[in-house]
Structure 1
């Protein structure tokens, strides 16, 4: 058995995926909401029998354990292979599956790890770290927490880290690629981080991708030096994807089904120290779609605990529209005092606990915060609040939630709900007109709907092929009724064309022949059939097969008729209309 087969043998795909996505038993397979797009109805299916997964929703993707890890962590095949080989205890032969990108990334991670060890040693055990230790103490961070987050200290020297890493065998260019040093115009190098408290920035696995360095004396250089300095974009560090504290908190996030978002590293560190281990920092105030995709894999509930200054409140408002696309439940911890979470936790931890307990839903918070800025005893104040809130209400399509917040806004502004509804509908109408002509929008929605029906019918046909014992009947019936143009997917047509060459054998032999001879490019279509649920009970499978094939034919004929109506070929149009009538009549009596 080769390395790939041995890895698949040792790692069960259901157990592996279940560590990342909670799966529920569904017949002989397992289901979950797809982790790669937002959805309410679970369409992500995992088969323990075939050790594969497939999304029957918007993604329409699938594969084996390697493909899942590649998509989950945005890895190349070589990267996923080496991670899974390590987890399975399978030794890869030297030179096999060469992946230069992986080797380069691993080198940068190793360099960063050495740098973190260097910084951490200076903070914990060297006299140069005295000032940093005193600073941490003044911020309320204890030794246990400092070790937990692997905090460190970058000395004032211009080249101490450079010298340390050079002795470890790395070149200046390799250290530069990790973002740890800066190159001058004179081709000299010096340490990027100097006289700073160091926060390692990690991925979900704990690999150190970069650093954030904070000055401890904000009066340095007249206050002109940046408070925080981050690793620049490198082959492994991308700011828009990184959440500080996610490695430390991801298990608690999943267990509590909640993530608390704060602004800075100290906010996250103090939150963990005081027991809020589901907390991560978003490195400033920009919550990106990459962040939200990552969060969605762990939880569907976000609690914002950002600074209550203007920038923090604006960050909350900017985040709502993006987060709504992923169908998150959102709440806000209103700190009221204007201080950031770290300050409140350090000085009055009980107050923070009460603020957390009293957290509001995102829309309650918005209504209250806008209302405080206006004089609601005047019609102009009421109008200002309603106009500010309407763009947020426009994103709510759940009728229960919509009615709740509409009533809340109505009571707060003393304005009839019907009046607010009219203003909201007017806003939505203007938004639609601004983006696209209404008829064009409707046509697109209708097209998507038809596409989903055709995909579903074809997936059902594949399931009937591989999960029933009526393969011979199905293949002959499909051969009689369906032409190449009737199939939604070209790969499904090719698969059926190949399977039809085996109809002189038994049902079992048909599947065996397909398993042995199916080209790789058709394997995804074949696997989909094993993951699609068939109805249970006393089913007449030949009747079910006939109905499904005729429905596929019906949708194909309707598409052909639409095209012919644009032309002047009345003879061909009449023939297709006659054929459609015959198919619909047969369907009505089956």
Structure 2
């Protein structure tokens, strides 16, 4: 049975309404049940399911839709292969146990070559070449026995040391490249990706090596480099999850730190539900992963304990929007707390020198939004009225945009107390600013970009991120009419992309926003999946555009406006028929 036949059989066996009702309360017409969209906050239900067609669509601000797989990917934050695996098991369609599975065989070859590389790295650490590295580790409280136990090794300084070893071991050359171990340099020569660094194995829940981190031990080059994204590795996962997953479920709690050494030290000292986010802040994909783990556990705790230095605090504050939204989105309700370490120390140092202090910090963790507004107030000079006003507006927007109505009062009161501004004055200030936020922006393109950056359209941004990150799918994204873009920033970025001018012709705002889209973490999928994402985004944008046209047609009783309504309605109807018959 082909891949297409297998996925069709899965969808035929599973009632899409039953799947979606595990997450959304649906009611109304059985042929088109409706509910509140699980992907954005709304008061009026705009999320419709089409059981006969096996499709769903949000007619609200999301303007997205799809099938069984799309829903699970979006709701659970998983990849296309993971969604197929879950639904295949549920539908009892046996498609992933076959030895002929190309994806499975390819992944196994990547796991295999990573294991071979890990053996080599460990050998190098205990060889004469590893003296400097082992000295560095010992100074950090990690002896050789611990290093080997925790998957630490050494990558030699040679250009082809690992590649030569893998060649002698008859490793699959394609797998070595696909795993990110061997890369092509600017001269077109293949070389080792990791050189002259301490290697750290990164494993998944099943304890398979999916990638490596390389840490400098001699202040040469960046502090850390990671395996680039591959079929089996993404930095949006958690380091240490292989050690921690069972303890996380047992304790109904997870502690998220920043560094690899933080995790190793924590586990060596008995704090065994600690993982690292492999970055300066937790990502949306990681939050989606935690939402899956704690889906049926109302008593869970997610404790963020990132570095205590000023840079770490700033990164934490600046990247909490997605976490706050996820903790209040109505479907996940993640209980996210923040633990603060004293004295500017990182978790590694605190655990090694004063484990009791570490435990006290964890026990004293405060709710995420409380930490956010307190940090804003403490990080600025509140004696300056304009700074106080800026903080009031920034935190106020967070309250009205991301916090449940029944929780808003206590946050307004807390913000009022922190800033010394009467609550009503505070609300009025934010209300006025919110009104200004919605005003029509200047027709000047550069000014439009500056003013509308914070008013992004999720469908347009998903389209742009997908085509920017997948240059091999350029043909699928070419030819989108500019008036399909409701956001001027997105329209300008797309026009430059279509012309092949990725530098935005020097416009700093375009360059900045393009880079954000390039860096955005997306669910991983194959070429077919990404092409489908592009197609669905364009379809959703077209539908939104047509609905806007329809709204602007005068409600006059004459043949011209009647014809306009008929044309637009026919176009919308044909889009749905085409989509449902696809």
TM-score for both structures, normalised by structure 2: 0.58
String of CA shifts for 1:387-440, please: whole Å, max 9, x gaps.
Answer: 45333333343234221121122222322111111112222222333699xxxx
Is the Cα–Cα contact under 8 Å of residues 118 and 161 in structure 1 kept in the other structure? yes
- CA gap of 1:93–1:371, structure 2 versus 1, over 3 A, is closer
Q: Secondary structure at the match of 1:119?
A: helix
Distance (Å, rounded) in 2 between the aligned partners of 1:122 and 1:35:
54
Q: Secondary structure at the match of 1:108?
A: helix
Q: Secondary structure at the match of 2:336?
A: strand
Q: List aligned pairs for 1:227-266, cutoff 5 A.
A: 227-239=223-235, 241-266=236-261
In structure 1, the residue matched to 2:526 is none
Distance (Å, rounded) in 2 between the aligned partners of 1:68 and 1:388:
31
Is the Cα–Cα contact under 8 Å of residues 344 and 351 in structure 1 kept in the other structure? yes
- CA gap of 1:157–1:561, structure 2 versus 1, over 3 A, is closer
In structure 2, the residue matched to 1:104 is 106
Q: List aligned pairs for 1:439-518, cutoff 5 A.
A: none
Distance (Å, rounded) in 2 between the aligned partners of 1:364 and 1:118:
47
In structure 2, the residue matched to 1:202 is 203
Deviation of residue 54 (structure 1)? 10
**Farther off after superposition, 363-372 or 333-342:** 363-372
In structure 2, the residue matched to 1:163 is 164
String of CA shifts for 1:513-553, please: whole Å, max 9, x gaps.
Answer: xxxxxxxxxxxxxxxxxxxxxxxxxxxxxxxxxxxxxxxxx
- CA gap of 1:75–1:399, structure 2 versus 1, over 3 A, is closer
Is the Cα–Cα contact under 8 Å of residues 154 and 193 in structure 1 kept in the other structure? yes
**Aligned Cα root-mean-square deviation (Å):** 5.5
- 2:71 equivalent to 1:74: no
In structure 2, the residue matched to 1:318 is 318
Is the Cα–Cα contact under 8 Å of residues 309 and 344 in structure 2 kept in the other structure? yes
Deviation of residue 325 (structure 1)? 3.0
Alignment partner for residue 355 of structure 1, among 348, 358, 361?
361
Distance (Å, rounded) in 2 between the aligned partners of 1:168 and 1:404:
63
Is the Cα–Cα contact under 8 Å of residues 85 and 96 in structure 2 kept in the other structure? no
In structure 1, the residue matched to 2:407 is 401
Distance (Å, rounded) in 2 between the aligned partners of 1:141 and 1:132:
11
String of CA shifts for 1:434-454, please: whole Å, max 9, x gaps.
Answer: 699xxxxxxxxxxxxxxxxxx
Q: Secondary structure at the match of 2:439?
A: helix
Deviation of residue 260 (structure 1)? 2.7
Is the Cα–Cα contact under 8 Å of residues 77 and 285 in structure 2 kept in the other structure? no
In structure 2, the residue matched to 1:291 is 286
- 2:417 equivalent to 1:411: yes
Q: List aligned pairs for 1:420-431, cutoff 5 A.
A: 420-431=426-437
Q: Secondary structure at the match of 2:401?
A: coil
- CA gap of 1:128–1:563, structure 2 versus 1, over 3 A, is same
Distance (Å, rounded) in 1 between the aligned partners of 2:95 and 2:359:
45
In structure 2, the residue matched to 1:271 is 266
- 2:558 equivalent to 1:568: yes
- 2:270 equivalent to 1:280: no
**Farther off after superposition, 300-309 or 138-147:** 138-147
- 2:351 equivalent to 1:345: yes
Distance (Å, rounded) in 2 between the aligned partners of 1:119 and 1:258:
33
Distance (Å, rounded) in 1 between the aligned partners of 2:198 and 2:261:
11
Q: List aligned pairs for 1:486-565, cutoff 5 A.
A: none
Is the Cα–Cα contact under 8 Å of residues 244 and 265 in structure 1 kept in the other structure? yes
Is the Cα–Cα contact under 8 Å of residues 199 and 212 in structure 1 kept in the other structure? yes
Is the Cα–Cα contact under 8 Å of residues 324 and 395 in structure 1 kept in the other structure? no
**Farther off after superposition, 263-272 or 288-297:** 288-297
Q: Secondary structure at the match of 2:319?
A: helix
Distance (Å, rounded) in 2 between the aligned partners of 1:303 and 1:78:
28
String of CA shifts for 1:146-186, please: whole Å, max 9, x gaps.
Answer: 45542222234443321221122235554233221344566
In structure 2, the residue matched to 1:306 is 306
- CA gap of 1:185–1:363, structure 2 versus 1, over 3 A, is closer
Deviation of residue 316 (structure 1)? 1.6
Deviation of residue 357 (structure 1)? 1.6
Q: Which runs of 5+ in 2 are unaligned?
A: 24-34, 48-53, 296-300, 329-333, 443-549, 563-582
Is the Cα–Cα contact under 8 Å of residues 264 and 281 in structure 1 kept in the other structure? yes
Is the Cα–Cα contact under 8 Å of residues 370 and 388 in structure 1 kept in the other structure? no
- CA gap of 1:431–1:36, structure 2 versus 1, over 3 A, is same
Deviation of residue 201 (structure 1)? 2.6
Deviation of residue 291 (structure 1)? 2.9
Distance (Å, rounded) in 1 between the aligned partners of 2:197 and 2:397:
43
String of CA shifts for 1:543-572, please: whole Å, max 9, x gaps.
Answer: xxxxxxxxxxxxxxxxx99999555379x9
String of CA shifts for 1:226-249, please: whole Å, max 9, x gaps.
Answer: 22122234444333x333223333
Q: List aligned pairs for 1:182-221, cutoff 5 A.
A: 182-184=183-185, 188-216=189-217, 220=218
In structure 2, the residue matched to 1:470 is none
Is the Cα–Cα contact under 8 Å of residues 308 and 339 in structure 1 kept in the other structure? yes
Is the Cα–Cα contact under 8 Å of residues 289 and 322 in structure 1 kept in the other structure? yes
- 2:148 equivalent to 1:150: no
TM-score for both structures, normalised by structure 1: 0.57
Which is greater in Rg?
1
String of CA shifts for 1:335-391, please: whole Å, max 9, x gaps.
Answer: 131122112212222112112222222333233333334555675675454345333
Distance (Å, rounded) in 2 between the aligned partners of 1:406 and 1:357:
26
Distance (Å, rounded) in 1 between the aligned partners of 2:42 and 2:245:
22
